[in-house]
A and B are shown apart, each in its own frame.
Chain A
Amino acid sequence: MEDFEPIIIAFVCNWCTYTAADLAGTSRLKYPANVRLIRVMCTGMVDPKYIIKTLLEGADAVLISGCHPGDCHYINGNYKARRRIKLLHALLPQFGFERERVKLTWIGASDGIEFAETIAEMVKEIKMLGPVKTKLKMVI
């Protein structure tokens, strides 16, 4: 598994985590290139089917990251996201998508360092888990 480089798709909210990622960049912080960012207006707009599709298409993990509780710019989008991820955590492990592959975090706009650390840590975690099985086989 040495040379396995996981692909992580991150849905990040415009107001917090995306800004944090931007800050990490402008601060010249290094984080692994395994992550592909998708900017969304709020974690509350990440439909579970985006996450399901992403995993079925062969991404090794999905990160959903937005504002801390109380800080969501649409008041409660992140609370809705939390319940949706809770549901996916109840459903997906049965089919071999471990909970670690669907990660929800809160990273505030000024937390560039935390963003970089979160990605690094997640890459490490997913490397240990190994590639997602949908990549290897024909999935219908």
Chain B
Amino acid sequence: MSNTIKIEVKDQNPLTALKDFFGSLLNLQDIGALFISQHLPMKSVVMPTLITDSDHLQRIDPLAPAFPLNGAKLVARLTHKSIGKKVAAVLRPCEIRAFIELVKLKQGRLEELIIIGVDCLGAYNNEDYKSFVDKNGPESTRLFYQNILDGKKGLIDGIDLAPACKACEHPVPETADIIIALWGIDINKELFVITQSPKGDDIIDKLNFNKTDEPATRLEAVTSLKADKIAWRDKMFAQIDEETNSIEKLTKYLAGCVNCYNCRVACPVCYCKECVFVTDVFNHEPFQYLKWADRKGILKMPTDTIFFHITRMAHISLACVGCGQCSNACPNNIPLTELFRSAAFRAQKAFDYEAGRDFAESPPLAVFHEDEFSEVTSVK
């Protein structure tokens, strides 16, 4: 069951139409709050906000190519205990997919959550978004979505989509309750809202819109878009795999890492409550460092950099959704997303699993069967 409604866009301004739509949503009795990105009054920063009063919808901008963090962990924070009210969260597809992984790990709950997924046009990395908005001011978001929807792929004045977005084959929110549809649609004239669950239907019924059909142009646009993204992704995989196919090369790739662990803080699916790398396990005795240094005559400090990254890979590659935030977070501009997504691709393939695909799919390391994977014990 899926319902579609059409929202007229006036004055070629889809953002106003979205504000009205979210306003009426927020006015529904059982919706307690709206989680949505907006321009903060400070600087040109776009951040998620939790809105309870529709007066504060003025600066919302879910179409801005800004993606300062993956909201999955924040939504988990909002939902891990009952609050007696519903929260509607407006999210990108990769935020939803990461949240699905957190729900499986019992770190977030679905019960009081309405997931509103926006067809994802992609985003710039943090630094690029900043230059983009500094240059183009209040017109930046419009400039961006027009460029994307005209098929120009977001390259504007030398600023290009983040690699994570270029390689992302999930430009539509497949598991949202409600989708704000943008692909294949002239959003200066109209917007479509599509429901995908009874929860979504319930909301739309209460809003009293006339039902219509999903425009066929959307599916066409999405199909060709996905093919493009997959082609780019596979090229990216080939390149990163070549660049890191030995321990020497991996060491070179990660050479700038200072063990700040920002990448794991930014990662929505780095799920450990306490990361072992910041515990006393790694608070070695001073003499130990000298002993290690003595073995080869030299020891890089801080130590255990590669160890950290491969261990993080073992922890999260089955849950990585390729959101790109690890790269965004790295102070030394190490292209981590390429590395982790390619590892994730191999790991998820091995278990015929896809992170964020389905709430009902168990994380591969949380289940086991007696009769399986006999090849593991017969490596020759």
A49-B371 Cα distance, complex, nearest whole Å: 25
Interface pick from A34-42, A74-82, A108-116: A74-82
Across-interface contacts of A97 in B (CB, < 8 A): 247
Contact B346 A100 (CB under 8 A): no
B247, A137: Cβ atoms closer than 8 Å: yes
Question: Are B365 and A89 interface neighbours, CB within 8 A?
Answer: no
Identify which of residues 241-264 in chain B touch chain A, using a CB-to-CB cut-off of 8 Å.
Answer: 241, 244-248, 250-251, 254-255, 257
B residues less than 8 Å from A138 (CB atoms): 251, 296, 298, 300
Pick from A80, A83, A86, A91: contact of B310, CB below 8 A: A91
Contact A49 B343 (CB under 8 A): no
Instruction: For the complex formed, measure the closest distance between the CB of B343 and the CB atoms of chain A, giving whole angstroms.
Output: 6
Given the known A-B contacts A89-B379, A139-B247, A140-B300, are A52 and B350 also in contact in the complex, defined by CB atoms under 8 Å? Answer: no
Query: Quick one: which of A52, A80, A103 has the most chain B CB within 10 A?
Result: A52
Q: Give every chain B residue within 8 A of A49 (Cβ-Cβ).
A: 276, 307, 311, 314
Query: Does B373 sit at the interface, judged by CB under 8 A?
Result: yes
Q: Are A87 and B247 in contact (CB under 8 A)?
A: no
Q: How far is the CA of A114 from the CA of B377 in the complex (A)?
A: 14
Q: Which of B251, B310, B311, B371 has the most CB of A within 10 A?
A: B310
Q: Does B273 contact A (CB under 8 A)?
A: no
Q: Is the beta-carbon distance between B307 and A83 smaller than 8 angstroms?
A: no
B interface bracket (residues with beta carbon within 8 Å of A): 35 or more
Answer whether residue A88 sits at the interface, using C-beta atoms and an 8 A cutoff: yes
Q: How far is the CA of A71 from the CA of B255 in the complex (A)?
A: 45
How far apart sit A95 and B303, CA to CA, in the bound complex (Å)? 19
- Is B365 in contact with A84, judged by CB distance below 8 angstroms? yes
Taking CB atoms and an 8 Å cut-off, the chain B residues in 322-380 that contact chain A are 342-343, 346-347, 349-351, 364-365, 368-373, 376-377, 379-380
Contact present for A86 and B343 (CB under 8 Å) = no
The answer to the question of A28 belonging to the interface, with a C-beta cut-off of 8 Å to chain B, is no
B interface: dominant SS: helix
- Known pairs A49-B314, A94-B342, A95-B246; list 20 more (Cβ under 8 Å): A52-B307, A70-B370, A79-B369, A82-B376, A84-B365, A85-B376, A86-B373, A87-B317, A91-B313, A91-B314, A91-B343, A91-B347, A94-B241, A95-B245, A95-B310, A96-B246, A96-B247, A104-B376, A106-B377, A137-B247
Is residue B305 contacting chain A, with contact meaning CB distance below 8 A? yes
B87 at the interface (CB under 8 A from A): no
| CB contact between A52 and one of B254, B310, B370 (< 8 Å): that residue | B310
Smallest distance from the beta carbon of B296 to chain A beta carbons, Å?
6
Main secondary structure of the interface of A (DSSP, over half): helix
Query: What 10 pairs across the A-B complex have the smallest Cβ distances?
Result: A79-B368, A90-B350, A96-B246, A140-B300, A48-B314, A140-B305, A49-B311, A99-B379, A90-B347, A90-B346
The CA-CA distance from A105 to B317 in the complex, in Å, is 25
Q: Nearest chain A CB to B77's CB is how many angstroms away?
A: 27
Whether the pair B307, A100 counts as a contact (CB closer than 8 A) is no
Asked if B176 lies at the interface with its beta carbon under 8 angstroms from chain A, I say no
Cα(A82)–Cα(B369), bound, Å: 10
B251 and A140 within 8 A (CB):
yes
Query: Does A23 make an interface contact (CB < 8 A)?
Result: no
Q: In the complex, what residue of chain A is closest to B241 when comparing beta carbons?
A: A94
Contacts A94-B244, A103-B379, A138-B300: A87 and B314 contacting too (C-beta < 8 A)?
Answer: yes
Distance of A69 Cα from B373 Cα, bound (Å): 12
Interface residues in chain A, defined as those with a beta carbon under 8 Å from any beta carbon in chain B: 48-49, 52-53, 56, 69-70, 76, 79-80, 82-92, 94-97, 99-100, 103-106, 125, 133-134, 137-140
Measured CA separation A86–B276 after assembly (Å):
22
B306 at the interface (CB under 8 A from A): yes
Q: Which residues of A contact B247 (CB under 8 A)?
A: 95-97, 133-134, 137, 139
**Nearest B residue to A137, CB-CB:** B248
Q: Given that A79-B368, A103-B379, A139-B251 are known contacts, is A94 also in contact with B343, CB under 8 Å in the complex?
A: yes
| Cβ–Cβ contact B254 & A140, under 8 A | yes
- Judged by a CB distance under 8 angstroms, whether B318 is at the interface is yes
Q: Could you say which of A83, A96, A137 contacts B245, with CB atoms under 8 Å apart? A: A96
Nearest chain B residue, comparing its CB with the CB of A58: B295
Contact B370 A79 (CB under 8 A): yes
Chain B residues, Cβ within 8 Å of A90: 346-347, 349-350
Contact of B254 with A83 in the complex, beta carbons under 8 Å: no
**Chain A residues whose CB sits within 8 angstroms of the CB of B347 once the complex forms:** 87, 90-91
Q: How many angstroms between the C-alpha atoms of A91 and B350 in the bound complex?
A: 10
Whether B376 pairs with A133 at a CB distance below 8 angstroms is no
Task: Find the A residue at minimum CB distance from B301.
Answer: A140
Q: Closest CB-CB distance, A42 to chain B, in whole Å?
A: 14
**A83/B368 contact (C-beta < 8 A), A94-B346, A140-B305 known:** yes
Interface string of B78-102 (1 = CB under 8 A from A): 0000000000000000000000000
